[in-house]
A and B are shown apart, each in its own frame.
Chain A
């Protein structure tokens, strides 16, 4: 048990965080090659799949470019809160890191749920969901503001006394775990694992556009959050990936900004300012319902 309370230096934690971040990308690329070979073997490789995969990595590049401008400020906010407002100071031990991962995973669940339930946040997250395919490269398909929203959900951890580097490490571990879930190669894992952990099967459901799967399985590492909070759905019917309406583009720039362009277009169409504002905070389904209502009204008027 001693190893659980053996202190790390914060430098060690920072090193571990960057090590995982850098090397996992290499591992993910290797796994992606394996997936491509599988698709080739099953004769499922298409031009669209290849184009979509390249687009995914280009959006990652664009995202990283934006992150390079804000990364220091992002970390500084954590340090500011930690240095000035922390309630206690938790030692940098494995015990602390373990607790932080659990809490970071819970924070991820709520952040993810928020991304699906808020129009402005969905406009960035929709990019990730807009691929009609499902493989490791989709995990790297990012929207322009994907870096912003985690801040608000992970920041309370600094207040609770977790060192910012421990929070960043936990954040990276949750992300890395999530990345591995983006695959069709793994079908179902043993039942105890499927019961506790998020798995490729659970995450395929999350990426589905089938009605019964919409807004389900937000979890990062532990699927128990979805089971507890009533947002769980089991993979039964074959999953159809993507968003409504389908984006049908492999142009990386168009894909990267698709969410906010669509949001701006929706705002442009709506005449009432209060409704324009509602588009920013209401769930994306609200915009769709408005469009449907408008269409319905127009049809009624034509009939008359």
Chain B
């Protein structure tokens, strides 16, 4: 084969193999993990900023009973603006992902132990242990009544971000749970955000 023909054939091979690489069924728990919610500290009012949300507004959230759930994933105490980092760690958590029995249908993001100005929290991004073959170092989300900050629906990142502004920061925020519902192909079908406050 002449040089030009060889180069042409090589280009065809490159595009074919590249196509095969692109067509791989992307794992839910890996690179295409749903885009992390844009919970930037800037978008959230701080504790003293009482003017943002009125009590009436908060009260309109329907209350939902959340049954105890055990999840396992990546946990860290960090600025809520850096939760993306935990998503990446979950994607790269080979040990955990190998324990998955099936493609997960839900990914939970569990926020607790908020700092005084709500800038940081202890956050776990992970799967329900029912999706895993066995568990170790699991995190329990206690059964409680939660306000439904966002109903189960598909939202844009900015809508998710706005939801955090709906939180009544005058009350003692205790937990926030984001539930991301995934399709077979690991795309986010819907998201639900639940919030509960410490009763005083």
CB within 8 Å of B: which residues of A? 2, 4-10, 12, 88-93, 95-96, 99-100, 102-103, 106, 110, 156, 160-162, 228-230
A contact residues around B27 at 8 Å (CB): 2, 5-7, 91, 93
B175 at the binding interface (Cβ < 8 Å)? no
A230 is contacted by which of B1, B20, B21, B97 (Cβ under 8 Å)? B1
Chain A residues near B6 (CB, 8 Å)? 228-230
Considering the complex, give the chain A residue whose CB is closest to the CB of B2.
A230
Q: State A5–B31 Cα separation when bound (angstroms).
A: 10
B residues near A229, Cβ cutoff 8 Å: 1, 6, 9-10
A106 CA to B9 CA, complexed, in Å:
11
User: B interface, by DSSP: helix, strand, loop or mixed?
Assistant: helix
Contact in complex: A228, B1 (CB < 8 Å) = yes
Q: Is the CB of B30 within 8 A of A7?
A: yes
Q: A12-B94, A103-B17, A230-B1 are in contact. Are A91 and B30 (CB under 8 A)?
A: yes
List CB contacts (< 8 Å) of B1-17 with chain A: 1, 6, 9-10, 13-14, 17
Q: Which of A12, A88, A90, A99 has the most CB of B within 10 A?
A: A99
The reply to whether A99 and B94 contact each other, CB–CB distance below 8 Å, is no
Contact with A along B17-38 (1 / 0, CB 8 A): 1101110111101111000000
How many angstroms between the C-alpha atoms of A107 and B29 in the bound complex? 31
Chain A residue nearest to B93 (CB atoms) is A9
CB distance from A107 to the nearest CB of B (A): 9
Give the residue of A7, A100, A106, A228 whose beta carbon is less than 8 angstroms from that of B94. Answer: A7
Interface residues on B, range: 20 to 34
Q: Which residues of A contact B172 (CB under 8 A)?
A: none
- Which residues B85-110 have CB closer than 8 A to chain A? 91-92, 94, 97-98
Q: Which 10 A-B pairs have the closest CB atoms?
A: A7-B30, A91-B31, A9-B92, A99-B21, A229-B6, A95-B24, A230-B1, A5-B27, A91-B30, A99-B17
Which residues from B are CB-within-8-Å of A103? Answer: 14, 17-18
Interface pair B97/A6, CB less than 8 Å apart = yes
Residues from chain A with Cβ under 8 Å of B97 in the complex? 6-7
Cβ contacts A to B, 13 pairs, < 8 Å: A5-B30, A6-B27, A6-B30, A7-B29, A7-B31, A7-B94, A8-B92, A89-B31, A95-B24, A156-B14, A160-B21, A228-B6, A229-B1
A114 to B195, CA, bound (A): 63
Distance from B177 Cβ to chain A, minimum over Cβ atoms (Å): 25
For the complex with contacts A106-B14, A229-B1, A229-B10, 6 further pairs of A-B residues with Cβ separation under 8 Å are: A5-B24, A88-B22, A91-B31, A92-B31, A95-B21, A160-B21
